[in-house]
Amino acid sequence: MNIKDIIEQKLAEVILNIYQLKDINLEIQENKTEFEGDFTIVTFPLVKQLKKNPESIGVELGDALTTQTELLESFNVVKGFLNVKVKNQFFVDQFKSVTEGFATIEKKNATVMVEYSSPNTNKPLHLGHIRNNLLGFSVAQILEEAGYDVLKAQIINDRGIHICKSMLAWEKFGNGETPETDHVKGDKFVGNYYVKFDQEYKKEIAALVEQGISEDQAKKDAPLIKEAQQMLLDWENGDEKVRNLWNEMNSWVYDGFNQTYKRLGVDFDQVQYESNTYILGKDLIQEGLDKGVLYKKEDGSVWCDLTEEGLDQKLLLRSDGTSVYMTQDLGTAVQRFKESNIQKLIYTVGNEQDYHFQVLFKILGKLGYEWANQLYHLSYGMVELPNGKMKSREGTVVDADDLMQEMHNIAKEKAEELGKLENLSDEDKEANYENVGMGALKYFMLKVDPKKKMLFNPEESIDFNGNTGPFIQYTYARIQSLLMKANYMNREIAEVDLNQFEKELIMQLANYKAVVEKAAELLSPALVANYLYDLVKSYNSFYQSNIILKLEDENLKQFRLNLSNLTAQTIKKSLLLLGIGTVNRM
């Protein structure tokens, strides 16, 4: 229990004792004012019930907390705000408690699956995928830290007309080249042919329009699109030549994806492929028809009427018997709960799919699956750049690998300007640049609430001041330097009289578990990122306001070193929840 919780508990006791009132929750804030005290209690909510002025209520509560509990050293009242100074021993005990029980959170005995990434195999990963991967991976880390068992999953969209476009373009224009012969990463190699298809397709459309055909008709009649559609039919019919080409090109893409995932620092426990899952869900259609949840039209197509739920009528099976994405997602969800023994499933997908998931969850609920209310769409806003949106078909996306390399290069440039890594080997320097560059990227992406769209600026993200990854990594490095100079060993200390900076830092450290629990509840890494920033600011205030190494009082010196060490541990653990590493020198 942290000090704020203790105050809440004691306050509830004295309110019951002196006013006979239950369930009164007064706001308690850490005191940032010029008035003496560690916390401020807001008394105004009691004014109406007690018909007293807020100042007298504050005095009565202050007196009661002082006489009826061992909590307070002193108090003062300013215009209905009760400022309380908590006894030093409570902070010392809090520090011991945090040190002894560092980061131990009870197991929840529940398994959560987090799905993220889920790319198409016709192009490399881009900036939008980076936000998706970092968000999904961080949420998985936070849930695990909060005591859940976690399964990280992705489903790869490896079939469909978009895949056939890349395949057809390679067949027509590839001249037998491969990623190896061109020295190009596999996913980029295939993505180039997706762009090539679009370029050639537009030429064909333009030629047909010149002949007097409408643009809409030209898009349907262009030879390339017809060939791509035929290739998709051949794939679905198991044509050996098409399937072999599909397997080979996908293998190039997977090799490229894995390189990107490794550098990004994300991984998966389960990988599913749409080519295996697209037939799932068809058996649910009959189940839904039998239950009267679904209905069939005269043409044989099957629908779900969700108009009473404020949605629309949703097609689930076409008249020719083929399924749609929704059908596949229904089947995949059922399969996952059946085979993985999960209690919750989180889909990390951009907010353009909000409606899709509303419909998916409603249909599963109507089909009678009780776990439907344990499905969650972790919807996030799109990432934009200073020059606007990205378009895959036109090849104007920000490539994930290029961006990661740019972050590495900026970190290198900044480090060379500061000149603090001269004594490191070239290998250690490169590892340092990578850690700082990737830390900047990840922190900038994750400090923003997932629901908000964001503007990404590489230069701004790698600033060594302000709410950035490098600023936080720098504080960790500063603490490591301090501990090294002190030949630090964690030793027991006698009680010390704490100042305001030490108290504030202890309170921040004690908040770690509550922040993790809240971030797990809201599925928001932004809470961890902003906690980290507050913690680092609090440590820097403590560091700048207190002598440490030159202290003659060995007990106080040891305490401040212990406090610094615990702060470093908390920074490291919190950064890991965001997928970010630490460096010992910057």
Residue 66 confidence class, pLDDT cut points 50, 70, 90: very high
CATH superfamily of 3-86: Arginyl tRNA synthetase N-terminal domain (3.30.1360.70)
pLDDT, mean of residues 178-182: 97
Q: Would you say residue 10 has pLDDT above 90?
A: yes
**What pLDDT is recorded for position 394?**
47
Q: Helix or strand or coil: residue 123?
A: coil
Rounded CA-CA distance 464/476 in Å is 13
Residue 99 confidence class, pLDDT cut points 50, 70, 90: confident
Tell me the pLDDT tens digit for each residue of 220-253. Answer: 999 999 999 999 999 989 999 999 999 999 999 9
Query: Could you tell me what percent of the chain has a pLDDT over 70?
Result: 97
Q: Buried (b) or exposed (e) across 77-107, using 16+ Cβ within 10 A?
A: beebbbbbbbeeebbbebbeebbeeeeebee
Domain with CATH 3.40.50.620 in the chain: 111-198+242-384
How far CA 277 is from CA of 324, 333, 464, in Å, comes to 11, 10, 46
Q: Dihedral sign, CA of 91, 95, 98, 100?
A: negative
Largest interatomic CA distance in the chain: 95
Rounded CA-CA distance 92/94 in Å is 5
Top pLDDT among 492 and 103 is at 492
Q: In this structure, are residues 377 and 347 in contact, taking their beta carbons and an 8 Å threshold?
A: yes
- What does the angle CA 296 – CA 301 – CA 305 come to, to the nearest 5 degrees? 55
Q: Buried (b) or exposed (e) across 218-230, using 16+ Cβ within 10 A?
A: bbeebebbeebee
Q: Helix or strand or coil: residue 388?
A: strand
**pTM, rounded to two decimals:** 0.91
CATH number of 400-577: 1.10.730.10
Range of weakest confidence among 25-29, 464-468, 568-572 = 464-468
381 DSSP assignment: P
**What pLDDT is recorded for position 456?**
82
**What pLDDT is recorded for position 306?**
96
Rounded CA-CA distance 295/286 in Å is 10
List strand residue ranges (DSSP E) for 251-374, in order: 270-273, 294-296, 302-305, 313-317, 344-350
Domain with CATH 3.30.1360.70 in the chain: 3-86
Residue 102 confidence class, pLDDT cut points 50, 70, 90: low
Rounded CA-CA distance 457/282 in Å is 45
Domain with CATH 1.10.730.10 in the chain: 400-577
Q: Which two tokens stand for residue 374?
A: 């344990």
Mean pLDDT, the chain, as a whole number?
93
Q: Would you say residue 420 has pLDDT above 90?
A: no
Rounded CA-CA distance 347/360 in Å is 11
464 DSSP assignment: S
Q: Would you say residue 386 has pLDDT above 80?
A: no
Q: Would you say residue 208 has pLDDT above 90?
A: yes
Counting every residue, how long is the chain? 586
Q: Would you say residue 392 has pLDDT above 50?
A: no
Instruction: Tabulate helix, strand, coil % of the chain (nearest 5).
Output: 60, 10, 30
Tell me the pLDDT tens digit for each residue of 328-357. Answer: 999 999 999 999 999 999 999 999 999 999
Q: Would you say residue 561 has pLDDT above 90?
A: yes
Contacts of 236 (CB under 8 A, 6+ apart): none
- What does the angle CA 481 – CA 483 – CA 486 come to, to the nearest 5 degrees? 110
Residue 463 confidence class, pLDDT cut points 50, 70, 90: confident
Top pLDDT among 51 and 395 is at 51
**What pLDDT is recorded for position 291?**
93
Q: In this structure, are residues 224 and 152 in contact, taking their beta carbons and an 8 Å threshold?
A: no
Range of weakest confidence among 275-284, 347-356, 391-400, 493-502 = 391-400
Q: Helix or strand or coil: residue 346?
A: strand
Contacts of 412 (CB under 8 A, 6+ apart): 429, 433, 437
Please state which CATH class domain 111-198+242-384 belongs to. alpha beta
Q: In this structure, are residues 585 and 424 in contact, taking their beta carbons and an 8 Å threshold?
A: yes
